[in-house]
Amino acid sequence: MKTLIFENGDEIPVLGLGTWKSKPGEVYQAVLWAIESGYRHIDCAAIYNNEKEVGEALTKAFADGLVKREELFITSKLWNDCHRKEDVKKGLLKSLSDLNLEYLDLYLIHWPVSFKKGVGFAENREQYFTYSDVPLSQTWQGMQSLKAEGLVKHIGMSNFNIAKLKEVLAIGGAAPEMNQVEMHPYLRQDKLVEFCKANDILMTAYSPLGSGDRSKSIKKTDEPNMFEDDVVLSIASKYRVNAAAVLLAFSINRGIAVIPKSVNQDRIRQNLLASELVLEKGDLDQLLQIQSQYRFIDGTFFTGSKSPYSLSDLWEPE
């Protein structure tokens, strides 16, 4: 398995199992299938509401000798209601307890959006904190403390744009080491990729296949289907692979990790094969030149009249 390398020499497998949208009752078996197939990178988050079951699968995998803890790379994410400095560690300890782990390999601030403590998804203005209430510097200092204590090996963020990354970098001390964002041929994120590489921030692509199975409440009726794209299909035919392999290889061949979610044993195995698919430069260039650009996870659920945040707090200017 190819890896990306952190500044201290630690490695993260370039392809991992995503667990967003994996339902309780399904994610346990999916994690075990993934480990049995050769996955060594599992991506989790508190808000996925399935970390306890993921933890049960990890415990069984360790007990059965399938893998040792130090052979796995486990990521989790701090939810929006734990952004105050005094709440950051509480958020981590809950995830560690649910996952039945003593440390995480990577811990990310899930969104640059703050809720009041105990809020799952804010439904009105009173349930939000503003940047004045809880500045990003406060949250990042809490994350730095977790790393200093050895509770997490690496720290970073998810869904942060260049402006927010610059704000965190200006704080000093331990710098962000990862930025996890939506990425695929229909959302190349060129400027963000260039900035992260220039500042030694690794990247992970979530929803690399378009997240077609997400809730209807956050989908649009006219969404494009990358699996039907002529360029993607042509390249898939050339390499005798499926469209999913090409979509995953797109990021991997850019030096970016991917975390496709699946609870299907065959697809879990098939996705893993994409980690070894080397695209010729001309084929990668074709994918990079696809004109259709679309953000499947648009973030509007955190904006609008109910919220103090706008889309400019999340994404790069179009």
Active-site positions? 48
R_g of the chain, CA atoms, integer Å? 19
Alpha-carbon distance of 117 to 97, in angstroms, equals: 19
